[in-house]
């Protein structure tokens, strides 16, 4: 039987929540400061589209190379320290990328930055889910919404720097220093102790569900594969905005540099709105319905923007893409962290690592198609993976029926303790990045 368990967070938990929020915002802002500078770097280094696509793919390649180390680093150092160390090194790598004298140096710097970003990504999600367990209700969505805010902030900072003709070295150096300071301050207020601490126990006199049974190895592989497919669908569409939105607007549609930067800003801004609304939508209609609807929004929005190319329509299309994929990656990460039978951080690390194949494969494929048939054709490739149908991660691990509509809410389960908490107010099913 499910029960209402109202956990009032203490001051330390509230400070930890604010600290994790700052880490997510910082992570979103750092890379977003570099993205609108890509056309300038591409022109300065004389790169063709195919070469540019392969060099940009160095960032996810670095993430894949280092991603599996995240779980071990979290167990050794703790998620908070791993996240902050990764943030500092990511900032340095992005600063070096902005000053790279050649395409090879640019790729090498992105490789290092991507490796450190992968560790930061897993570690901050692990710490955020740990804080969530202390709260006894879903709060992970607010962290990922703030990651999107960080993306808008970083993109806006870059657009302002471009408009004011601030040298790229000064701009990226100031960005790295600013967000390094924010992350170091946040570290002071993160939770101490081990990351595998149990969730808050149920109050005396209440019924608690037993811990979920361990899954067989074959079942774990199946569920992880499904979560990776869902996450990759989101990352491929997202990468179209990361790597190509500014370039498409400036080169193909001749938009001014400062205006071209708003394509990425529109995608991340709409993604933020989608994450704010996502919890309520998933709770009411179910994750599968939300994923299908999001895929339809991506397909229609981006399809119309690319079929009828103009600056305003294209920016609106990237906004539709951001809104449509808003809940996919967060849901996959959260469900991976809840998989029974895996060591702390392992499921989250595996899904985060494998989903980055989308970021790795997308840029070179789009670049090769663009050189052969134009960038608009290349972006159609990136649009195609948007999911119109996907399995519900929750039902994959729990065997629960998918909700089809209506106001009925199912209980939210604490990730590790097996305590069932009736969803009221903020206690809803979570999303991830």
Question: 3-class DSSP state for residue 197?
Answer: coil
What pLDDT is attached to residue 413?
39
Report the mean per-residue pLDDT for the chain.
Answer: 78
At 161, list the tokens: 């720097």
Question: 3-class DSSP state for residue 421?
Answer: strand
Q: How far apart are the first and last CA of the chain?
A: 31
Q: Is the pLDDT of residue 196 over 90?
A: no
User: 297-351: per-residue pLDDT in tens?
Assistant: 888 888 877 877 889 988 998 899 889 888 777 777 777 777 777 776 778 888 8
Task: State what percent of residues in the chain have pLDDT above 90.
Answer: 29
Asked if residues 199 and 193 have their Cβ atoms less than 8 Å apart, the reply is no
Per-residue confidence band for 386, with pLDDT thresholds at 50, 70 and 90: low
What pLDDT is attached to residue 215?
65
What pLDDT is attached to residue 160?
93
DSSP state letter for 112: H
Q: Is the pLDDT of residue 424 over 80?
A: no
User: 234-283: per-residue pLDDT in tens?
Assistant: 777 777 777 788 888 888 888 888 888 888 888 888 988 988 887 778 77
Asked if residues 172 and 110 have their Cβ atoms less than 8 Å apart, the reply is no
Helix, strand, coil fractions of the chain, as percent rounded to 5: 70, 0, 25
Q: Comparing 396 with 268, which gets the higher pLDDT? A: 268
Question: 3-class DSSP state for residue 5?
Answer: coil
User: 286-310: per-residue pLDDT in tens?
Assistant: 767 887 888 888 888 888 778 778 8
H or E stretch at 390: none
- pTM summary value: 0.70
Q: Is the pLDDT of residue 353 over 90?
A: no
Q: Is the pLDDT of residue 21 over 90?
A: yes
Asked if residues 67 and 348 have their Cβ atoms less than 8 Å apart, the reply is no
Q: Is the pLDDT of residue 397 over 60?
A: no
For domain 11-421, give the CATH number: 1.20.1250.20
What pLDDT is attached to residue 214?
63
* Torsion sign (Cα): 284, 285, 287, 290: negative
User: 201-241: per-residue pLDDT in tens?
Assistant: 433 333 444 555 566 778 888 888 888 877 877 777 777 77
Residue 324 neighbours by CB distance under 10 Å: 28
Question: 3-class DSSP state for residue 218?
Answer: helix
Each domain of the chain, given as residue ranges in start order, spans 11-421
Question: 3-class DSSP state for residue 271?
Answer: helix
Q: Which is nearest to 131 in space by CA: 204, 210, 197, 206? A: 197
Q: Is the pLDDT of residue 119 over 90?
A: yes
Q: Is the pLDDT of residue 391 over 50?
A: no
Rounded CA separation 301/24 (Å): 28
Per-residue confidence band for 87, with pLDDT thresholds at 50, 70 and 90: very high
C-alpha angle 394-397-401 in degrees, rounded to nearest 5:
55
Mean local confidence (pLDDT), 1-30: 81
Asked if residues 87 and 180 have their Cβ atoms less than 8 Å apart, the reply is yes
At 145, list the tokens: 């919404």
Rounded CA separation 117/133 (Å): 24
Asked if residues 409 and 425 have their Cβ atoms less than 8 Å apart, the reply is no
Per-residue confidence band for 86, with pLDDT thresholds at 50, 70 and 90: very high
């Amino acid at each position: 039987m499910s029960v209402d368990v109202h956990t009032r967070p203490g001051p330390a938990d509230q400070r930890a929540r604010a600290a994790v929020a700052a880490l997510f915002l910082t992570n979103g802002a750092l890379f977003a400061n570099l993205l609108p500078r890509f056309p300038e770097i591409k022109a300065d280094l004389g790169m063709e589209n195919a070469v540019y696509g392969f060099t940009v793919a160095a960032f996810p390649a670095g993430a894949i190379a280092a991603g599996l180390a995240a779980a071990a680093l979290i167990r050794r150092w703790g998620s908070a320290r791993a996240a902050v160390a990764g943030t500092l090194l990511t900032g340095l790598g992005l600063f070096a990328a902005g000053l790279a004298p050649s395409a090879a140096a640019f790729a090498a710097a992105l490789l290092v930055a991507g490796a450190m970003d992968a560790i930061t990504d897993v570690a901050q999600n692990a710490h955020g889910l740990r804080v969530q367990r202390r709260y006894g209700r879903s709060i992970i969505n607010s962290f990922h919404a703030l990651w999107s805010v960080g993306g808008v902030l970083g993109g806006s900072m870059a657009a302002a720097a471009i408009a004011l003709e601030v040298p790229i070295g000064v701009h990226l150096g100031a960005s790295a220093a600013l967000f390094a300071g924010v992350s170091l301050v946040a570290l002071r207020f993160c939770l101490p102790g081990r990351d595998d601490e149990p969730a808050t126990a149920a109050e005396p006199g209440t019924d608690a569900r037993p811990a979920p049974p361990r899954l067989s190895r074959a079942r774990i592989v199946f569920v992880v594969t499904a979560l990776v497919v869902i996450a990759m669908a989101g990352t491929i569409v997202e990468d179209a905005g990361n790597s190509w939105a500014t370039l498409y607007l400036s080169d193909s549609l001749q938009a001014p540099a400062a205006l071209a930067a708003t394509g990425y800003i529109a995608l991340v801004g709409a993604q933020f709105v989608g994450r704010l609304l996502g919890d309520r939508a998933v709770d009411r209609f179910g994750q599968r319905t939300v994923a299908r609807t999001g895929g339809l929004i991506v397909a229609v929005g981006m399809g119309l923007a690319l079929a009828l190319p103009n600056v305003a329509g294209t920016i609106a299309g990237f906004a539709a893409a951001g809104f449509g994929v808003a809940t996919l990656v967060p849901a996959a990460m959260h469900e991976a962290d809840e998989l029974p039978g895996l060591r702390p951080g392992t499921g989250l690390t595996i899904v985060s690592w494998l989903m980055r194949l989308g970021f790795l494969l997308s840029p070179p494929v789009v670049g090769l198609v663009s050189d052969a048939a134009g960038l608009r054709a290349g972006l159609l490739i990136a649009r195609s993976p948007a999911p119109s149908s996907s399995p519900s991660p929750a039902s994959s691990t729990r065997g629960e029926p998918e909700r089809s509509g209506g106001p009925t809410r199912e209980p939210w389960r604490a990730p590790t303790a097996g305590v069932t908490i009736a969803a009221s107010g903020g206690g809803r099913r979570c999303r991830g990045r």
